[in-house]
Structure 1
Amino acid sequence: MSRHQFPGIEPGTSVSIGWDRPLATFFVQVLRPHPHLEGEDETVAWHGAHPGELTSAAAAVTIASRWADLPADLAITLETDRLMTLGQSDGEAQIAIKRRFFGD
């Protein structure tokens, strides 16, 4: 799994974007400080939490660009992250959790 973090456009907001090999999806998470819970974050947006939800780096960058100023070459970096995982396979724990949440 890869994860790249960027400060959000809104003060206090952070954006994480990356590749999740076990779920075969790119993801975008946007967090900001929780308005009522000191030291806790509130999830503003979370895309790519389901298998195969975001299949292209460009789609993830498009979503994340609504929340942060991103490097121009980020889609290339994300695609490189994905390609570097092609030879990997799930371990026992990943197989078990996939069965539990997503069936056989």
Structure 2
Amino acid sequence: MSRHQLPLREGVEATSAWIGWDRPLLTFFAQVFVIDPSDPDEEVELIWRGTSERELPRPVDAIRLLEPYCDIPAEIAVSLEVDRMKTLATIDGPNQQEAKAFLARLEARGSRSE
């Protein structure tokens, strides 16, 4: 997994923004955190995408989510693609396989209850 912190745009009321590659889920991800209004000592996610398998398959998919909040460095798409390519030969271990199976069962339960 890779994770890069991005600079926030001036005037954006967020505490941090992150982008990266999650190899086990085969997805890029985007996160923006803000102060929790009910507890000023804690952060909560405003955006957290790329939490399911193959949700954001290209760097640009994650970058577009963060553009309203961040100043996006020109080289971030290349860095993310390099992060992904470094993991091409990596396979899931037993714990990752079980975690994916668990998430799939949860997702299946959720779709049945809708």
TM-score (norm 2): 0.84
Q: Which runs of structure 2 are paired with 1:84-103 in the superposition (5 Å)?
A: 84-103=86-105
1:32 to 18, 31, 34: 34
Deviations 1:8-55 (A, max 9, x none): 221443111000000000000110111221321121111111100100
How many residues are paired up?
Answer: 103
Moved runs in structure 1, 4+ residues, more than 4 A? none
Structure-2 residue corresponding to 1:56: 58
How far has the Cα of 1:59 moved from its partner? 1.4
Gaps of 5+ in 1: none
Of Structure 1 and Structure 2, which has the larger fraction of its residues in helix?
Answer: 2
* 2:88 partner letter: L
TM-score norm. by structure 1 comes to: 0.91
User: Cα distance, 1:2 vs. partner?
Assistant: 0.2
User: Contact 2:7–2:72 at 8 Å: present in 1 too?
Assistant: no
Say what the alpha-carbon RMSD is for the aligned residues: 1.3
Stretches of structure 2 that go unaligned for 5 or more consecutive residues are 106-114
Larger Rg: 2
